[in-house]
Structure 1
Amino acid sequence: MAPRSISYSFKRLILTFLAVTLICLWSMNSARFDEKFSAEDSQRVEKRFYVESGKCKMRYVDPFNAEFLKINHPKAFIPCTNESDLVSVHYDKILNQYVLHKNEEVLHELSESNTNDFACFYQQIIHGQSAEHYDGKDKRTKISQNHLVPLDVEGMLVECRTADETRVLQKDAFVFVQYKDPPQKVKPVKKASVIMYGIDTVSRTNLRRMMPMVHEFLKSPGWYEMMGYNKVADNSFPNIFAMLTGFSPESAETKICNTDVDGCLDKIPFIWKDFKKDGYLTAYAEDEEHSNTFNYAKPGFAVKPTDYYFRPFLTALENETLIQYCPGCVMKYCLGRRLANSYIFDYCRQFMQRYVADRPIWGMFWTNHYSHDDLFMLSAMQHKILEDLLSFEKDGAFEHTIMIFFSDHGARFGPLMYTKEAFLEERLPMMFIYLPPWFREKYPQYVEALAQNQNRLSSNFDLYNTLKHIINIEGLVEDTKWSYDCPQCQSLFYPLPENRSCSEAAIAEAYCTCHNYEEVAEDEGTWRLANLVVDRMNKYLHYHNLQNLCSNLTLRVVNSTEVRMDDKDVDLENGLRHYHTKFQVHQNLAEFFATVLYDKQTEELHMNVELISRTNMYGTDSECVNNKIQKLYCVCLSKLRAIIE
């Protein structure tokens, strides 16, 4: 253990030194920050492309360009509490049990007394048979010093009071990954564990801006950045759904069931079911109950989807602990004494500590409470996320684990949406893949392919195929079912076609970052185009019988119009061209971005309304409808605000 400890400390020292250096450079307004610290990125800057081929030219974005520096507003980290823990937890590896320890020094500080007249109790969080909700709290159990946590207790609420119970000294909460014996004692064939650690709304560019220390860590040996990774849908659900199922929600509705209907999500062939069949232990956790991927405007799961499922405990934490919000935060920042994200990290770390050295595991741990609503909050959290990654390394988890450190998309609203690079910012999420040393040694051909693919166009469906490939890494299963919605997609462990188009990666034109669009001067034609798009949106609302709930939209202003300059796949003789139009309507000043095929002469228009992006926050504007897509275009009649022109 000593060599690993030295390595961990040394790396931490180096990263701290780098952080200080980077912050100094930032304060000097170094617009070429990223280039100076990475020869690889410097090469990309000279070429000005992340991907450069005949079918795809994905432009590089300078993280610290002049536009960004004008709006940059980094945030300071805000702790949930300054108090030390009165009750702490450690894991006894001999007994395979968690142990609760009472810190009497902290007690004396909190009670302002030298006596030990106090008592701590816990109440077990009971989740019963329900997959989504907790069923309440058990009776109080007194905590003795070095109290052994019973193996059936997976979550608890803790409270310490003075002996007369007149004053609460501290409240806390803990969630445990309790150890379970493997179903058989036969030592399994060595397989790579897979951990997916995700942060909502982080583009590859904004990671470099807001979390330079994390970015430096991700340049360590074994990490590979998919710089050509392009999202396939607008928001979190369809992007995550694609990487976990190989389906779009629309195809799933046709082939399996409608994910908006109760019981459907239990029927969907999520990748964790494949891992489970292959002998993996599985886990899933998120840190926001309301905006949870499978529960926001969705029914959730009727049956517990993975071996370890965090949501019932999250529900208990949000209902039973003190909730704190940071300035400007909409989502819950602290649950009791801890960051909402801390519970997710602890759950992930415990899961790996309990099992990763002994048996293969798969888990996805998703956080959005600090990143979704404010892109600058990432800067406040970079030390926390770096500590997470360093802790995984210290534990030795990277010796066994393929880690996918990723996001679903970039910022979809906020100040970045008013910059020239907004289109790229929104569509290019970060995607890093780590391969452990033994895997790199055993499968050099897959490592070479992954390295080669870093600067080739890839999508969520390729990632899904990669997960399927990991399960069948020895090629023993011949009937592997790859991504349904992208027949031409493949595992990232095989070389992707160098000259690959968005359509070949199942990326719609509305999300494709491969093409060159240039702004056109505003005239009657650009206004007419936007008006036609608004008309289609109104027809869409009528088609779905929402006209009595949602306001008719009227065009207020055209912000910009762009035309595709490399339009090779359309009928130029008939005048059809691809356009981007960004506009605002009068109703609550809602803003939208649409990609369309349009003929300025004949006014022939081809578009899919459901691919139009809403580019400013809609908040409660659309609370009268439940469908996640329809919410984007609905301004509820009951929520109309008077706009002063």
Structure 2
Amino acid sequence: MSLLTGKNMSTIYRACSSGMDKCNQMLIWSKFQKAGYVTATGEDYLRLPDTFGKYGYKSAPTDHYLRPLFLTGEHSYGNLVCTKKMASPNHILDYATAFSETYKDEKFFGMFWFNSYSHNLENKPQLIDDGIVNYFIRLNSSGVMNNTLIFFLSDHGMRYGKMREQVESYYAERLPMLFIWVPEDFRKKYLQEYINLEINQNRLITPYDLHLTLWDVMIRSKMSTDKIASEACPNCDSIFNEISPYRNCADANVDEKWCTCHKMKSVNRTEIDVKHSIELVVKYLQNKTKNIQTTSCMKCVVLNLKTILRTHTYRDESLNSTYFVLALVMTPGNIGYEATIVKRNGELSIMQPTYTITSYNTRGSCVIEPNHRSYCVCEKIAKCKIKH
């Protein structure tokens, strides 16, 4: 939504709370559509509780819309999410290919997203490798890539599973991938802009910058003359312009929680601040567990510390703050969590939110609010009778 709107999430939730149709004009595909582009979008794995699924569209948000196909019935078969006899992401690749080839001589904007090969497990993206390769081969052979900018990206790195136990995963989660295909004609016509793209490969950029970059595409194609700024990030810019090497997370509106512009070092868990940080996290998780609403005759078991996986620290002089990044396992359920504690003005406080780093907790199905599942191991209350 940051990429599509350039706005703060508070603005997005307020505008979209009564349905996505009410806020569709905020999304950049509507801007492209108004500028004369043919538009399309599609996303698989519809049962995920994302923004679109939560608020929903009553009518198609773009000229072409893939959701009705998946509404005919997505089914899980082992590691695959399928629609009829084909994996859902393959439907998306076929649709994106047909859309691009159909409108290759016109101006078009498509955003296609697949979740089911990579959302939960780390070993499934390889299943779509050949499909993606064949997709680009076909776009190239059909001439689509001669005049089309392609952004190939993710929303984040690995968030759950065994890989998250290692300290490197702290950075991997916070650094989504981004690859851009730039047509040869664009490179010649806008040489400096292409040089800037190469420079910016090693600079801090965000989805807010990409939002402005997409708008910049409209301006350069003479389909819009309006310069805009990102509401959420006034200092952000199109990445066709050189981004400062001195840019920090505050400049780019990256929250402290997600900033990776620091180098962490291991710290002994017996140090007094680390011990107090661990105690703070355990108490936080226990208090959270006690206040979770559950279905009748069920409760969440109070969690206790089982294992400390890693303890690291870094310093931010600009904020006069020291940070402690901890990963630990709580029992019962062997649920792993990663937490960041900040020491500022001599006081330790936990940075919200604290996330689970283990695979989705299947033992938390008694919770009322889905977001609480990762903090709960359900247990039946003794001698409790469910009222009908």
State the TM-score, normalized to the length of structure 1. 0.54
Match of 1:569 in 2: 318
Match of 1:531 in 2: 279
Question: Which of 279, 286, 306 is the aligned partner of 2:43?
Answer: 286
In structure 2, distance between residues paired with 1:474 and 1:310:
27
* Correspondence list, 1:190-209, <5 A: none
Letter in 2 for 1:288: Y
* Correspondence list, 1:26-45, <5 A: none
Match of 1:404 in 2: 151
In structure 2, distance between residues paired with 1:555 and 1:295:
37
In structure 1, distance between residues paired with 2:11 and 2:129:
37
Letter in 2 for 1:249: M
Letter in 1 for 2:313: V
Question: Which of 19, 28, 50 is the aligned partner of 1:271?
Answer: 28
How far 1:587 moved relative to its partner? Answer: 4.1
Question: Which of 227, 252, 276 is the aligned partner of 2:12?
Answer: 252
In structure 1, distance between residues paired with 2:365 and 2:18:
20
Question: Which of 582, 604, 613 is the aligned partner of 2:327?
Answer: 582
Secondary structure at the aligned position of 1:456 is classed as: coil
User: Does the 8 A contact of 1:406 with 1:431 survive in 2?
Assistant: yes
Match of 1:546 in 2: 292
Letter in 2 for 1:615: I
CA RMSD of aligned residues (A): 2.7
Moved over 6 A (4+): none
In structure 2, distance between residues paired with 1:419 and 1:252:
34
Question: Which of 318, 333, 339 is the aligned partner of 1:594?
Answer: 339
Letter in 1 for 2:292: L
Letter in 1 for 2:245: E
Match of 1:613 in 2: 355
CA deviations 1:551-605 (Å, max 9, x no partner) are 34433332221110x421233xxxx511111122224222111122126x95x23
In structure 2, distance between residues paired with 1:537 and 1:303:
41
User: Does the 8 A contact of 1:519 with 1:562 survive in 2?
Assistant: yes
- When residues 639 and 349 of structure 1 are mapped into structure 2, their CA distance, relative to the original with a 3 A threshold, is farther
Correspondence 1:631 to 2:379: no
Secondary structure at the aligned position of 1:244 is classed as: helix
How far 1:632 moved relative to its partner? Answer: 6.2
Correspondence 1:473 to 2:220: yes
Unmatched 5+ residue regions in structure 1?
1-240, 641-645
User: Does the 8 A contact of 2:151 with 2:181 survive in 1?
Assistant: yes
In structure 2, distance between residues paired with 1:638 and 1:581:
28
In structure 2, distance between residues paired with 1:366 and 1:373:
15
User: Does the 8 A contact of 1:620 with 1:639 survive in 2?
Assistant: no
Match of 2:59 in 1: 303
Match of 1:361 in 2: 108
Match of 1:377 in 2: 124
Secondary structure at the aligned position of 2:51 is classed as: coil
How far 1:376 moved relative to its partner? Answer: 2.1
User: Does the 8 A contact of 2:311 with 2:326 survive in 1?
Assistant: yes
* Correspondence list, 1:48-127, <5 A: none
Secondary structure at the aligned position of 1:462 is classed as: helix
Letter in 2 for 1:556: K
CA deviations 1:99-157 (Å, max 9, x no partner) are xxxxxxxxxxxxxxxxxxxxxxxxxxxxxxxxxxxxxxxxxxxxxxxxxxxxxxxxxxx
- When residues 537 and 460 of structure 1 are mapped into structure 2, their CA distance, relative to the original with a 3 A threshold, is farther
User: Does the 8 A contact of 1:527 with 1:558 survive in 2?
Assistant: no
- Structure number with bigger Rg: 1
Match of 1:560 in 2: 310
State the TM-score, normalized to the length of structure 2. 0.87
How far 1:636 moved relative to its partner? Answer: 5.5
- When residues 486 and 518 of structure 1 are mapped into structure 2, their CA distance, relative to the original with a 3 A threshold, is same
How far 1:314 moved relative to its partner? Answer: 0.8
User: Does the 8 A contact of 1:356 with 1:397 survive in 2?
Assistant: yes
How far 1:270 moved relative to its partner? Answer: 0.8
How far 1:363 moved relative to its partner? Answer: 0.7
How far 1:537 moved relative to its partner? Answer: 4.5
CA deviations 1:319-348 (Å, max 9, x no partner) are xxxx4624xx2x51x333322221101111
- When residues 363 and 511 of structure 1 are mapped into structure 2, their CA distance, relative to the original with a 3 A threshold, is same
In structure 2, distance between residues paired with 1:439 and 1:276:
22
How far 1:316 moved relative to its partner? Answer: 0.7
In structure 2, distance between residues paired with 1:598 and 1:540:
22
Q: Identity, % of aligned pairs? A: 29
Match of 1:438 in 2: 185
CA deviations 1:353-383 (Å, max 9, x no partner) are 11121x2111111112222222222234322
User: Does the 8 A contact of 1:555 with 1:586 survive in 2?
Assistant: yes
Higher relative CO (Cα under 8 Å, sequence separation at least 6) belongs to 1
- When residues 633 and 337 of structure 1 are mapped into structure 2, their CA distance, relative to the original with a 3 A threshold, is closer
